[in-house]
Amino acid sequence: MLLIAIVDDDPKDAAQLKGCVEEYYKAHDHAVMIQEYHDGLDFIRSTETYDIIFLDIQMGKLDGLETARLVRKINRDAILIFVTNMAQFAIKGYEVDALDFILKPASLASINYVLDKAMRRLDNSGRAMFSLKTADGTISLSANDIMYVEVFDHNLIYHTTRGDHNVRGRLGDVASKLDPDKFVMCNRSFVVNLRHVSSVTADYLVIGGSRIPISKSHRKELMKRFSSFLGDSL
């Protein structure tokens, strides 16, 4: 599920923006959670790590630029989109690596344009979205939320940061859709997300407290990929 924050001290503007964002993701069949904040300080005090953040530049206690600078200290990957009445203020967005800006009042056309850009950046950063058909219906899942995928009783179990999901499918097909720099098979029944691996031994790795065995045939490649991933992450 994609997490989106709207930070705007004008409730009317925030509501209009939220409606456009909801319409965009409904059309694209993506599950999202959208949270509104009407003050930069309240947003900074929140504990959620958002994927996309819409920031009003001109706010009272803490304006959008200062809020963005604080965001960047704790979340380097969040996509920032500024919202403003005056385009000249948006140039400051380059200081905090903002993706783009939209003018108030938000329109569906401007939201479609900027969220298309945002989704492309998410895809390129390895946070591609997947639609899974489960017994309870179709869900949208971010690749970064996947800790590991395992084969169990001819089904696939996606173990994620937000719970487990059972689906029909083949592990090989799943592996081919995931970023090979971040996902690797450690045996014929498991594909793991290296960003969630807390430790590795010769025989197993640990993700979220679970020990997952490493087969001899996959050991060399996994160790190589894990070392490379750690080097890229530093």
Domain 2-124, CATH: 3.40.50.2300
What pLDDT, on the 0 to 100 scale, is given for residue 26? Answer: 92
**43: pLDDT strictly greater than 80:** yes
129-233: same fold as 2-124?
A: no
**129: pLDDT strictly greater than 80:** no
Closest by CA to 224, choosing from 178, 179, 180, 170, is 180
User: Sorting pLDDT into bands at 50, 70 and 90, what band is 88?
Assistant: low
User: Sorting pLDDT into bands at 50, 70 and 90, what band is 234?
Assistant: very low
Q: With the C-alpha atoms ordered 30, 32, 16, 49, is the resulting torsion angle positive or negative?
A: negative
Greatest mean pLDDT range, 17-21, 133-137, 176-180:
17-21
Each residue's pLDDT tens digit, 11-31: 999 999 999 999 999 998 887
Give 98's DSSP letter. -
- Amino acid letter, residue 156: L
Q: With the C-alpha atoms ordered 167, 173, 175, 176, is the resulting torsion angle positive or negative?
A: negative
The mean pLDDT value of the chain amounts to 86
What does the domain layout of the chain look like in residue ranges? 2-124, 129-233
User: Sorting pLDDT into bands at 50, 70 and 90, what band is 48?
Assistant: confident
User: Sorting pLDDT into bands at 50, 70 and 90, what band is 91?
Assistant: low
Give the mean model confidence (pLDDT) for residues 53-80: 87
- Percent of the chain exceeding pLDDT 90 equals 45
Please tell me the total number of residues recorded for the chain in this structure.
234
* CATH class (in words) of the domain with range 129-233: mainly beta
**232: pLDDT strictly greater than 80:** no
Give the mean model confidence (pLDDT) for residues 197-216: 93
**Phi-psi category of residue 126: left, alpha or beta, with phi > 0 → left and psi -120 to 50 → alpha:** left
Q: With the C-alpha atoms ordered 65, 70, 76, 79, is the resulting torsion angle positive or negative?
A: negative
C-beta separation of 127 from 179 below 8 A? no
Give the mean model confidence (pLDDT) for residues 147-176: 89
Tokens of 187: 């045996």
C-beta separation of 81 from 73 below 8 A? no
* pLDDT higher at 121 or 217: 217
**83: pLDDT strictly greater than 50:** yes
